[in-house]
Amino acid sequence: MTTEHTESGYAQAVAIAQRKTLLFSAIWFPTLTALGGVAHLLVSLLLQQTLEIGIVFIIIGSVLTLLMWLVTLGKRYSKTPPKSARDMIRLGWALHTNPPFARFCRAAGVLLAITTVVLLFVPMNDASRGVAAPLSALAAVWFFGTAWATSYTQRQLVAAGSADQYATPASR
């Protein structure tokens, strides 16, 4: 890896994309915890089960989202550009592995959503259904959210690699 490539507009564009995805992930994954809690709560309401677990997930997710928003406040509103990306090998690995991981998460989310629906309508004792259906709904939301976040990260990194608008005139 040469120094001129590291300081190029490409490296700066990748650094900007990495900062965007880091800030996004810091907020998104705690929010997914709260959204999973909402799914758990709704399925528990439908099955007339206790709502405590869903409420706890909503509270934990909301508190963590607020905390992560506060932690990333400095980077979020910083006027200084990020340091140029230096780890291009790891970036290549991420670009290679993100699409299969997103496909896996979408498939797992679909299977868990189907499991939730089946658990709602298949006759079984209420104790098993009351535990399994809300938890599979929570997991389905988490997998769908993770797939979406991985796809978002992939789009940001690919756009950075093909975007020349961040390149400085000296680095062209």
Name the residue among 67, 44, 46, 47 with its Cα closest to residue 56: 44
Residue 170 domain flag: no
Q: Is residue 154 part of a domain?
A: yes
3 pLDDT more than 50: no
Q: What is the CA radius of gyration of the chain?
A: 21
pTM of the complete model: 0.73
d(CA 109, CA 103): 10
To which residue do tokens 């340091």 refer?
83
Domain presence at residue 172: no
* Distance in angstroms (rounded) separating the CA atoms of residues 114 and 120: 10
* Type of residue found at 6: T
Query: Which among 108, 120, 157 is positioned nearest to 10, based on CA atoms?
Result: 157
Place of tokens 């997914």: 32
161 in a structural domain: yes
SS3 label, residue 48:
coil
Residues 6+ apart with CB under 8 A from 145: 28, 29, 31, 32, 35
Count how many domains the chain has.
1
Query: How does pLDDT run across 121-144, given as a tens digit for each residue?
Result: 877 776 677 788 888 899 999 999
Residue range of the domain that includes 50: 3-165
172 falls in which pLDDT band (50, 70, 90)?
very low
For residue 171, is it within any domain? no
